[in-house]
Structure formats: structure tokens, C-alpha cells
Amino acid sequence: MQMNYHNPVLLKETVNGLNIKSDGIYVDVTFGGGGHSREILKHLSKEGRLIAFDQDQDALLNTIDDDRFLLINENFRFIKRFLRFHGIKKVDGILGDFGVSSHQFDEAQRGFSTRFNANLDMRMNQKDELSAYNVVNEYEEAELKRVFKDYGELRQAPLFARVIVSERKKEQIVKTEELKAILKPYMQERRLNKILAQIYQAIRIEVNQEIEVLKEFLLQTPDLLVKGGRLSLISYHSLEDRLVKRFIRDGMFEGLPEKDVFGNIEVPFKRIGKLIVPSEEEVRQNNRARSAKLRIAEKL
């Protein structure tokens, strides 16, 4: 049974970016509803292989019945370990479509969306112990401030942290609507939805360790890709996109790569083409595509 899971963003552009060889081995690290995976399989001969990762149990309902396909129900931070377990040391391309799937946003009880009243959850892997409830009710004020500042890029981070700590002393904050009601008086009405989205984003990134996961994943890609192999990666917010951009350019996240005696820098990738964003038509058809940024790189 396939769920109405995710409308794949930049479908053709992302898959074309892999420059697929029909007998190659490819990895889709964010399987979701399987839209990108199904498109990749169209380009593969019977000798080709596709391995997909998704930590969300719900994604298993979308698995593809195809001898060339394998779905691994794990976080893609463990990509190298699980590929080795299945006897794969090198691949020809890796696709990633980061962020939250449409299914996760639309399932009210998962707590990802500002539209619904739900338990504070936001776990992409429902077996994980840390949830949004833990972050909101158990983090020290300084830690909450860090989460809102670093992951929500919120100027009011100290204020929001202080208000939450004060309110939860009276009563635990269990539901998303309770959190919204507590913070709403400190927001301008015209910016309410934007700030709420930033607050939810910050908590979600902390719950799922999204920044650490992305860094761990990117650092493994140079070893996994064959020479000429491709990365095709979609990001949805500036924190992710900055990491992807810097890693493709410098092979690292901070500082500058070392130069040899001739002033050349040795980096694992070269950028292919320019930044790709969805067309106006795609955004009209799928509003969630509006902030997508696709970057493509080739292993040197």
C-alpha cells in the first residue's frame, strides 16, 4: 500500500543531475514516497542497482517491488556502514532531498506542522527517545536559547527561551497549540506564521540532529563515490544549503582548504552547473517546492 507521501521536488533536474549510467549503482538517501527512486529506476538497466534509505517506519509502506531495489530503514548518517554490510564499497551517484516530507507535515499527530494541534513530537524516526516534548520541557534556558538562535535564526531567541521556562514551571507544555499560545503574545501579528515556522524548524532540527546528520553524511561521500560519480542534493533552508555549498566548494564546513606549493587547493568535488531552483510553475503546483535549492557536484 503506497501512501500519499511526498510530491518530489525538482524531480527531473535532480535525477538528471546524477548523469545516470544504466548499469550503475545509485543511492537515494531520502526515500520518502519513492518519487525520486522510481525516476532513477526508469534510467537503469537490469544490471543497475538502487539502494534507498529512510528512517521513518511509514516510508516502508512505499517500498518498490523491483529486484534492482533495496530499501534500508535507517538514518542516512550510517550510509557507509550499511552499504558495506550489503557488499557495496563504491557507488556512481547519491541523491538527497533533505527536510520534512509532505506526509510528515500532513500527518497531524506527528507534530511537524503549525496547522494542527498535536502532541509535541517531531521525530522523523519514531523509535528515537528525544522528542519536541523533551526539548520544550526539559532543556535548560541556555540550551533552548541556543536551539532557537542557531537553528531558527531567531532574534527573539533569549525571550522565547525565557518565556517557555517560566510557563512550564506552572504546567508542562504538551501540545503544539499550548506552545503557540504561550509564545503568540510576543510576536507581531503580521509575522506570526513566519516566526512560528522558524520556532518549529529549530525544535525539529534539534530533535532529529539534522545538522550533525548532514555533516556526517557529507563527509562520507568522497570515499563512497567513484571518480566522476555525482552528488545531487536538495536543501530547504539556509543552514543546510550553506553546509552543502561549502562542502562542495572546499571539502569542509569551516576554514579554508590547504594549498599546495603552487597555490592549488585539493578538494574532492567540482561543482556542476549553477544553483537550480524550482520554476514558477512547479511552485504553483507544489507550494512546498518554493524554498528548494538543488546543488550538483562531481567527484574528482
- Which domains are delineated in the chain? 11-102+210-299 (3.40.50.150), 108-208 (1.10.150.170)
**Contact indicator for 142, 165 with CB cutoff of 8 Å:** no
Residue 1, pLDDT above cutoff 70: no
pLDDT digits (tens, 9 = 90+) for 89-121: 999 999 999 977 767 777 878 888 878 899 999
Q: The C-alpha cell of 244 is what?
A: 552543502
**Contact indicator for 68, 203 with CB cutoff of 8 Å:** no
Q: The C-alpha cell of 206 is what?
A: 534539534
Percentage of the chain lying above the pLDDT 90 cut: 86
pLDDT digits (tens, 9 = 90+) for 58-74: 899 999 999 999 999 99
**Nearest to residue 145, comparing CAs of 135, 130, 166, 160?**
160
